[in-house]
Structures are given as structure tokens and as C-alpha cells.
Amino acid sequence: MTALLKNSTRIASLLLCTVLGCSGVQAQNTARPDLEGVWSNASLTNLTRRSGVESLVVSPEEAVVMAARVPIGGIEGGFDDGDGVNNTPEAAADDFGSRAYNNFWVDPGSSLALVKGEYRTSYIVNPENGLVPRLENPTTDYRRTNFGSRYLTGIGNADGPEALPLSERCILSEGKAGPAMQSGLYNNTYQFVQTNDYVMIDVEQMHDARIIPIFASAIEARANRRPEVLQQYMGDSVGWYEGDALVVETINVNPQQMQQSSTAITKNGRITERFTRYSDTEIVYRFTVEDSDLYSQAWTAELSFHTSDGHLYEYACHEGNYSMPGTLAGARRLEAEQK
């Protein structure tokens, strides 16, 4: 009788799918957004708003002008010279090697962030000034490590491999892997895979894989946290669905990652991400950062993932990383010459 009932249920389900045109790829629930696919969040918009820009939203005409003036990789110039990206030096030019990458390698997008049909001047939407509300005197010993000068000049601490940033060591793309997945100079593509129990996000740069367990509610998700001692890269993320949104809450991010992140939290903070399918070609991605040890208030940013060309490309960082042994060998040679 039980077997007969199961078979009857299967037949009924097949008939229903025939009538409604169900997809064989994924059984969709109306409360669960379909996030499957390959997406890109490439844009020339930064997390924070540039000085002198007051409005979050600008017209398409204003967006074109602003995009042409956006510094890329810390180098002023924009797209005005007509030779590609940001006046970066050509290979073998006199200033090549003193200004990071040449333009062949740079692919940050060509416009400001387009979110729900609006061109945005910052990812931050709250506070309204588009700035991170950092405390002047944090109540924690947290210190952010800034590798900006090293990136532009090639000059920095080379006492050992640990002195180099995580991305240069091919461990993690801390600005893209998440939590808080933002765009960068290149490789801004992501693949989303959904099952009933997990959402996996494959980040093209480094091919970091965020594997997020999904639960029936926020209460159940928080009850299934990993042990605090496991300070993982990308943190302890758990998810659940709320209406038409996937909600992901992350705590306990590895401190080394947080020291190099623009969306840092301490052990007392959390980052909450919301993924909503806005249209056939767009996922709206919103995240809120809460940490009274670092910030004067919670702050929220919003950007979009748009449909990509359907490909994730190899990011052969470990396999082709000649920079680290070269950097360390050069530092040891310099030390020997100075003795």
C-alpha cells in the first residue's frame, strides 16, 4: 500500500509538471529565488562615494562622464586617453613596473554600477553620505593592513611569505570572496549553484568556493553554527529563505582576512547578505555590516550581479605564482648586498 501510494504521488507530480511546464533542472519553490547561473558584478563604482559627489543615483549621461574619470588600481586618468584602461603604462614603457599592471590585464568593467535600472556612485546606500561610519577610536585592537602602497610601487615588507597579502599568496581574494562580494580589477565572475540543502558560490578569482548550508529558518540556522575555534576564511556562513530572498548571515571570519578587508568585522560583528532575483538578467545583492567595536552604526551596501557570458575562466594563481619566490629572493639578495 505504501509503495502504491509513493508511485501514485510520483505519477501525480509528473502529470502536474507536464501541465505546468516544470523544469527538470531544479524544483522551484515560489518562496525561493532562482539564483543558478554565471553572473558578473563588474563595475567602476567603489564601496564608498568619491569626495565631491553627493548623489547616490546619477543620470546615464552623468554616469558616462564619471566612469571616464574613475581611478583604476589607484592610478588617476580614467578612459579618456582612448587606449583602453586608465592610462596604465604599456609593457616596456619607462614607467612600467612602477605603476602595477599594464592595461592588458585590467578588466574592471566599463560603467558605474547599474542597480535596478539606476547608475550608482557608491555601493553604500546607508549612511546616505556613502561613507563607512568607522569609529575614530575603536574599542578593539583591530588594525587594518593596507597594501595600497605596496601594490602601486612594489615596495614592502618581504621578511617572509606571511608578510605578503593573502591575494598575493594565492590564498584568498579577500575583496571578492566574501562575505561582502565586491568587484575589482579583473575576474569579477561568479557561479551560483543551488540545491535543497546548500548554495555554493564559486568565485572566479582564486576559485574560492563559498559553501553555505541552508536551513528552514534563521533560528535553526543560528543553532547550527560551527565551533568558534574554527576561524575560517570567508567565515561561518548560514542561510535561509525569506520570501523572495536568500539571506546569508556570517560571523567568525578569519582575523587575517578581516585585517585586509574593506568590510571588516571583529569576533562580535556580523555581515548579513540578501540575494534577490530582480529580473531574468539581474540579482540584487545587499549586505549589512554590524559591529559596534568598529563602526558608529550598522551600514548597508547594494550592488547587482548581471548575467555573464556563461564562462568562468581559470585563475592559475598557485600554478603560475612566480612573484612570491622572486620577491623573497630579491629581498634576500638585497640584504646580502647591504651587509
DSSP letters of 248-264? EEEE---HHHHTT-TT-
* pLDDT digits 0-9 by tens, 86-142: 455 555 555 545 455 556 677 889 899 999 999 999 999 999 999 999 998 887 766
Residue 112, domain member (yes or no): no
Is there a single domain that holds both residue 25 and residue 129?
no
Q: Can you give the pLDDT at residue 10?
A: 38
Is there a single domain that holds both residue 19 and residue 36?
no
Mean of per-residue pLDDT scores for the chain: 83
Residue 6, domain member (yes or no): yes
Residue 236, domain member (yes or no): yes
pTM, to two decimals: 0.82
Is there a single domain that holds both residue 189 and residue 220?
yes
Q: Which amino acid is present at 259?
A: Q
Domain that includes residue 6, residue range: 2-29
Strands (E), 59-159: 113-115, 118-120, 124-126
Characterize the bridge pairing of strands 118-120 and 57-58: antiparallel
Is there a single domain that holds both residue 12 and residue 43?
no
Residue 134, domain member (yes or no): yes
Is there a single domain that holds both residue 145 and residue 12?
no
Farthest CA pair distance, the chain: 88
Q: 35 or 73: which carries more pLDDT confidence?
A: 35
Is there a single domain that holds both residue 298 and residue 330?
yes
Q: How far apart are CA 210 and CA 175, in angstroms?
A: 13
DSSP codes of every residue in 7-30: HHHHHHHHHHHHHHT--SS----T
Q: Which residues pair with 246 in a beta bridge?
A: 241, 275
Is there a single domain that holds both residue 131 and residue 250?
yes
Is there a single domain that holds both residue 17 and residue 136?
no
How confident is the model over 241-260, as a mean pLDDT? 93
Residue 228, domain member (yes or no): yes
Is there a single domain that holds both residue 17 and residue 131?
no
Number of compact structural domains in the chain: 2
Element (H, E) at 40: strand 37-40
Q: Which amino acid is present at 218?
A: A
Residue 158, domain member (yes or no): yes
Centroid of chain to Cα 172? 11
